[in-house]
Chains A and B, each alone.
Chain A
Amino acid sequence: MKRYLASIYGTLLLGMVVSLQLPATGFPNQKIDPVQADYKIGDVVADFQLRSVDGRSVSLRDFDNQKGVIVIFTCNHCPFSKAYEDRIGALNGKFAGQGYPVIAINPSDPKSYEDDNFEKLKEHVSAKGHAYPYLVDDSQTVARAFGANRTPQAYVLQNNGGKFTVRYIGTLDDNPQDPGSVRKHYVDDAVSNLLAGRPVTTTTTRAIGCAIKWKDA
């Protein structure tokens, strides 16, 4: 299916950049084709490299020594992201020390949302003092590769010798509005199970939040 889509993509761009499109098919997990990738449970995630709000270059490889990571696509303009911000920090606080740190990725197009421009993010992060990296995916390449469609949307990745495998995709928990009324802690449960050597019980939920507005859409 992935190759089929890639060939369609290639066909659409025939005569323009065919030669550039072809190498992607040889190493499906090494090079991200923004159109074909769309991670499912059990898929191995390709490495990515993004700039963090505090100016560092961060890649998935940097977390090779961890048991896994909690990748969360989020942003600053969306009310759901705002509602979850402290809970994202709490997840990192709970699990970073146990080998599952949070990597937050902002896939918003700053042209669509002023709150998500680099300067605003910088101001926000320095005010809030995030303990986890907040990466800027303004080209939206990583969000497309993951097949993310909402903010916030969580991916729990388990590291098996440098291969990051998708174990959970979806919402953080079952109540965006009131942290006190949460009954199902999906991400927390997934990571806790993985840490205990158990399989994840709920592997997929709908991510509830704001639709990621794609640049070319």
Chain B
Amino acid sequence: MRGMRRKNLLTICLLLCAINAHSQNEFASANGDLLAIMEKTQRKEKNIVAKLKAPTVLEVKWSVLEKLLNSNTDTTYIVNFWATWCGPCVKELPCFEELNRNYASQKVRIVLVSMDFVDDMEDRVVPMVERMKLKNTVWLLNEPDANSWIERVDANWSGALPATLIINTKQQKRVFYEKSLDYETLNRKLSYFVDE
């Protein structure tokens, strides 16, 4: 009888221990879940922030570019048409970055308009913009029917790249280049727009 009681006690003891261990595990796992949830929430917030942040390259339609070309402000816009597959275009991109730095205090805005295919946005355009650390605004013009808008950028443009338009609608000044440019040429030309 005594032995029996001792055995029961032992069983109870073991049971308690087991329950205790189990509840500890339960607590640990609940704690883990909480952390996971917190992390998940944090990740979500991060994603929202990332989404709120301007994308590296903005996909635009012609109407957006048209608005810029017809904006009645005293800002001088430099619109450079380029593509990742166009060697001479990529080569001159640093010139526009240098202009951006040197004209930061002036009313000059540079927009690099990529003519890449929309399908190449994630695989080619964004990686190149990031690799080259471009600070200028980069758009990808999603208007495949180039015949419908090329003439409206400049009547003499054949559509060849690179091409650059310098425009100030308020001053009614514009100059268009269908060729590669260097920093000196751009700088000299730009001085006619901003030094008045």
Contacts and interface: CB of A to CB of B under 8 A. Distances in A.
Interface of A: 78-79, 83, 149-150, 170-171, 174-178, 181, 183-184, 205-208, 210-211
Contact of B144 (A150, A176, A206, A210): A176
A206 B159 contact: yes
Contacts of B145: 174-175, 183-184
Given A78-B85, A79-B117, A174 B158 contact: no
B144 A181 contact: yes
B143 to A, nearest CB: 10
Given A83-B117, A205-B147, A211-B161, 18 more contacts: A79-B85, A79-B117, A149-B158, A170-B147, A174-B144, A174-B145, A174-B147, A174-B148, A175-B144, A176-B117, A177-B117, A177-B119, A177-B144, A178-B144, A206-B146, A206-B147, A206-B158, A208-B147
Contacts of B146: 206, 208
24 contacts: A78-B85, A79-B85, A79-B117, A79-B120, A83-B117, A149-B158, A150-B159, A170-B147, A171-B147, A174-B145, A175-B145, A176-B117, A177-B117, A177-B144, A181-B144, A183-B145, A205-B147, A206-B146, A206-B147, A206-B159, A207-B159, A208-B146, A208-B147, A210-B85
Contacts of A183: 145
A79 B145 CA distance: 15
A211 B85 contact: no
Nearest to A112: B87
A82 B119 CA distance: 14
Q: 4 nearest interchain CB pairs?
A: A174-B145, A175-B144, A177-B144, A208-B146
A184 B103 CA distance: 43
B118 interface: yes
A177 B145 CA distance: 9
B160 interface: yes
A34 to B, nearest CB: 19
Main secondary structure on A side of the interface with B: loop
Interface string B86-121: 100000000000000000000000000000011110
A208 B159 contact: yes
B18 interface: no
B150 interface: yes
B117 to A, nearest CB: 5
A178 B144 CA distance: 8
A77 to B, nearest CB: 8
Interface in B147-166: 147-148, 150, 158-161
A208 B120 CA distance: 17
A200 B117 CA distance: 30
Contacts of A207: 159
Contact of A177 (B85, B118, B150, B159): B118
B128 to A, nearest CB: 14
A171 B159 CA distance: 12
Contacts of A175: 144-145
Contact of A206 (B85, B117, B120, B150): B150
Contacts of B150: 206
Contacts of A210: 85-86
A211 B161 CA distance: 8
A138 to B, nearest CB: 20
A134 to B, nearest CB: 21
Contacts of B118: 177
Contacts of B120: 79
A28 B146 CA distance: 34
A144 to B, nearest CB: 16
Contacts of B148: 174
